[in-house]
Structures are given as C-alpha cells and as structure tokens.
Structure 1
Amino acid sequence: MSCMETIEAYGLRSIGLGERLLPRSDFTLCDQFVLIGSGLVWNVYFGLMALFFGFWFATALAMGKSSDSLLLRKPAEWFIFVFRGSPLFIQFFIAYQAFVLLPRNGIEINLGFVELTAQTRWLTKAWAGALIVLFLNTSAYSAEIFFGALRSIPKGDLEAAEAYGMTPWQKFRRVTFPTMLRLGWPAYTNEAIFLFHATTLVFFSGFPAWQQQGDALYYANYFADKTFNPFVPYPIVAGYFVILTLCVITGFGLVNRRLNRHLAPASRPRLRIRPQLVR
C-alpha cells in the first residue's frame, strides 16, 4: 500500500471513515504518521470544546468568586479549590466510576403530566465523559486566572465608568470584561497549551475508545505494542503536539494583539509561554 493509499484508507479512521481494520504487520512510517495524525483529531476536539465551554463557565466562576454575595462567592471558591486541588487523572477516574454507576436504562424524570427518561450511557464514552472532566478542570484553573485579572483592574477605570453613568451591565461589557481578558490572556494562553497536552490523559483515564476510534496516544501505543519499538510512534506524537502548540500560540497571539490594539506597540505585553509540566 502506497502512502497516498494509506492516507485515503486511514486518514479519517478515528472518526469512523475509511478502513475499519488496523494494519497488522509490515508497518511503515507512513502508517504511523497517518494513523497517529488521525487520532489527533480527538485531541483537538477535546481541547477546543473544553476551551470554548470552559471559557464562559470560568468567567462566571471568576465573577462569582469576586462577588460580595456569600451565596455566589462560596460555591465558586469551593469549586475552584476542589478541581485545582486534586490531580486531573484522579478526576478522570472518579468521573468514570460515577458515570458507570448510573442506571443503564437512564434516569426517570416524572414531571407530573409526562415522564421523561434521561439517557446516561453516553456519559461513559470518551467523547462525552472525558470532555466533561476536561471542561470542569480547565474552568477551575481559568477562573482563578480571570479572578486575578479582575482584582488587577485599575479602580480608576471602574470609577470612571460609574461616573460616566454606565449601568452595571454596560460597565461589565465595556470595561470589566475587556480589561479582564487583556490582563489575563497571557496566563490563559499557558492554560490552553496545558489543556491540549492534558488531552493525552484520556487514553489512560478508563473512558473507552468506541470501535477503536481513539486519540493520538491510542494509536501510538498500538504501534509501540506491535513493533516493540516505542522510539518511533511516541516521538511522532510529540512532534504533532509541538505543531499543535505552535498553532495555539499563533492563534492566541493574534487575539492578544487584538485585545491590546489600543496600546502603543512598545507597550503591548508579549506572550510568555511557561508550560506546566506537573498539574
């Protein structure tokens, strides 16, 4: 099988398109690059979805933690403390065990005039259950970043907004939220990079890959087991993630320039990437 035929057969295998059976012998370098690259689609999916939903939830948590209301502040503080204080892998394990214990036939919800059944089987699948864990984890870390940014907003900016007669919503939309993003974006970029790296833990988390449609590390482990040579597939995974990290840095750098477009070029803060090796 030529390399082009391998790409056609296995390029989208991780999402159920192409050959169903994995190659069994005579593995080529092209086979490994194509299948591991195919699995990277899931890592990108986990990262993008967790970032998108986690961003808004983190903003709500940060606002809750900075609130004067005890009913808003304490739940936000405890949520952030629990998910930042426990290892991500343990969160995967607890979530999977909790989802498995849910009734297989779903949860019956009686509304009086109608009875609904909430399906729970999908929660034990990696595409859903693992995504929920990543979403909650990154929300907690991002909320702490945004909370620190909120505390760093100059009081003069807020007082000027109030003196101008802005409503609380207008002040948040035009002053608080943009300034929070501008101050917290460099640290949030590091969190986004770590989140994409953390998606590799899904392979070890216990959430099953449906019909062998796994992530990049799933296929790298497959080739390492079959060839007894881990020094080819795992560096390929690392190379793919280096490229993915460069894409994240580029994308977030463009957003950072947009957020600081009102500043002089010499005064614009530059992104400083500091990867977290241990969570």
Structure 2
Amino acid sequence: MSCLETIQNYAFRSIGFGERLLPRTDFTLCDQFTLIGSGMIWNLYFGVLAIAFGFFAAIAIALAKDSNRWIFRRPAEIFIFVFRGSPLFIQFFLAYEAFVLLPKLGYDLNLGFVQITLETRMLTKAWLGALFVLFLNTTAYSAEIFYGALTSIPKGDIEAAEAYGLSGWKKFKRVVYPTMLRLAWPAYTNEAIFLFHATTLVFFSGFPAWQQRGDALYYASYFADKTFNPFIPYPILAFYYIILTLGVIAVYGAIGKRLNQHLPSAARRKFRFRPQIIR
C-alpha cells in the first residue's frame, strides 16, 4: 500500500471514515504519521470546544468570586478550589464512574402534564462526557486567572471611568472587561496550551475508545505496543503537539497584539510560555 493510499484510508479513521481495521504488521512511518494525525482530530475537538465554552463561563465565575455578595462569591470559590485542587486524571475517572451510574438511577423529570425520562447514557461517551470534564477544569483555572486580572486593574482606570459618568454595564464593557483581558491574556494563553496537552488523558482515564477510534495518544500507544519501540510513535506525537502549540501561540499572540495595540510598545506585556509541570 502506497503512502497516498494509506492517507486516503486512515486520515479520518478516528471519526469513523475510511478503513475499519488497523494495520497489524509491517508498520511504516506513513502509517504512524497518518493514524496519529487522524487521532489529533479528537484532541482538537476537545480543546477547541472546552476553551470556547469555558472562556465565557470563566468570566462569569471570576465576576462571581469578585462579588461582594457571599451567595455568589462562596460557590465560585468552592468550584475553583475543587477543580484546581484535584488532579485532572482523577476528575476524568470520577466523572466517568458517576456518568455510568446515572442511567441506573432512572431520574425522571415531572412537568405536571408530562413525565420525561432524562437520557444520561450519552455522558458516558468521550465526545460529551470527557468534553464536559475538560470544560469544568479549564473554567476553574481560567476563572482564577481572570479573577487575578480583575483585582489587578488599576484603580485609576475605574475612577476615570466613573468620572466620565460610566457605571454598571457600560463601565464593565468599556473599561473593566478589556483591561481584564489584556492583563490576563499571557496567563490565559498558557492555560489554553496546557488544555490541549491535557486532552491526551481522555482515553486513558476511564472513557473508552469506541471501535478503536481514539485520540493521537491512543494510536501512538497502539504502535508502541505492537512494535515494542516507543521511540518512533511518541516523537511523532510530540511533533504534532509542537505544531499545535505553535498554532495556539500564533493565534493567541495575534489576539494579544490586538488587545494591546493602544499601548506604547515598551508597555506591552509579552507572552512567555511557562508550562505547568504538575496539575
């Protein structure tokens, strides 16, 4: 089988298109690059959606934590503490076990005129259940980042906005929100990079890969087990993640320049990649 035929057969295998059976012997570099690259589709899916939904949820929780009312502040503090204080691997494991148990409980929603049986079996699938866990995890970390940025906003900016007659939503929209984003963006970029790296835990922490349709690490582990040589598939996996990281840095760097375009070049906060070793 030529490399072109391999790409045609396996490029989208991880999402159910193409050859159903995995190669068993005579693995080539093309096989490994293609299948591991196919698995990256899932990593992109988890990372992009978790960041997209988590961004807005994190801002809401950061505002709740900064609130003067304990009814908003205390739940936000507990949520952030729980998901930042426990390992992501354990969160995946506990969530999967809970999602498996939910259908056995048989929870029904009684609306008075009709009774609806809530379908929870989909949560045991990685495409929804694992995405939900990643969403909660990145929301907690991002909320703490945004909260730190909120508390770092210069008081002079707030006083200037109030002097111009801005209050409530207008003050938040024109002064607080853009300043918060500008201050938080370097740290939030690191969080986005780490989240994409953390997607490798999905199929190794309880959520099963249906019909061997796993992510990039799943296929890299498959080749390492079959060939007894981890020094080919895992460097290929690392290569894909380096490319992905460079893409995230480019996109977030462009957004960061947009957020800081009104500042003189000497005052702009530069992005520094500071990966977290343990989470």
Q: Assess same fold via TM > 0.5.
A: yes
Q: Which residue of 1 aligns with 2:132?
A: 132
The answer for the alignment partner of 1:276 in structure 2 is 276
Q: Gaps (5+ residues) in structure 1? A: none
Structure-2 residue corresponding to 1:241: 241
Residue of structure 2 in register with 1:198 after alignment: 198
C-alpha deviations, 1:159-191, integer Å up to 9, x for none?
221222223011111111100000000000111
Q: Aligned partners of 2:120 and 2:153: how far apart in 1?
A: 43
CA distance in 2, matches of 1:116, 1:162: 50
Q: Give 1:106 shift.
A: 5.5
Write the mapping of 1:128-277 to structure 2, written as runs, cut at 5 A.
Answer: 128-277=128-277
RMSD over aligned Cα, in angstroms? 1.1
Distance of 2:160 and 2:244 partners within structure 1: 41
Whole-angstrom CA distance in 1 between matches of 2:47 and 2:153:
29
Q: Which runs of 4+ in 1 moved over 2 A?
A: 104-107
Please list the CA deviations of residues 87-117 of structure 1 after superposition, one character each: whole Å capped at 9, or x if unmatched. Answer: 1111111101111101259532110011112
Separation of aligned partners in 1, 2:103 and 2:4: 46
8 Å contact from structure 1 (residues 260, 268) kept in 2: yes
Superposition deviation, residue 130 in structure 1 = 0.8
Aligned counterparts of 1:216 and 1:16: Cα–Cα separation in 2: 15
Give the Cα separation in 2 of the matches to 1:267 and 1:158. 19
Residue equivalent to 1:119: 119
Task: Name the aligned partner's letter for residue 278 of structure 1.
Answer: I
Aligned equivalents of 2:211, 2:106: Cα separation in 1: 22
Distance 1:90 1:226 in 2: 28
Distance 1:26 1:242 in 2: 27
Counting aligned pairs with the same residue, the percent is 71
AA of the residue aligned to 1:159: E
Q: Retained in 2: the 8 A contact 1:104–1:120? A: no
Change in CA separation of 1:105 and 1:15 when aligned onto 2, cut-off 3 Å: farther
What is the identity, as a one-letter code, of the residue corresponding to 1:239?
A: F
Q: Output the TM-score relative to the length of structure 1.
A: 0.98
The separation in 1 between residues aligned to 2:106 and 2:6, in whole angstroms, is 41
Matching of residue 100 in structure 1 with residue 106 in structure 2 = no
Q: How many residues were matched structurally?
A: 279
Alignment pair present for 1:65 and 2:76: no
**AA aligned opposite 1:111:** L
Paired with 1:119 and 1:61, the residues of 2 have a C-alpha distance of 28
Q: How much does 1:37 deviate?
A: 0.2
Q: Structure 2: which 5+ residue stretches go unaligned?
A: none
Tell me the distance in 1 between the aligned counterparts of 2:79 and 2:32: 41
Greater mean alpha carbon deviation, residues 158-167 or residues 92-101: 158-167
Contact (CA 8 Å) 1:105, 1:120: kept in 2 or not? no
User: Structure 1 CA distance, aligned partners of 2:267 and 2:70?
Assistant: 38
In structure 2, what residue type is equivalent to 1:69?
R
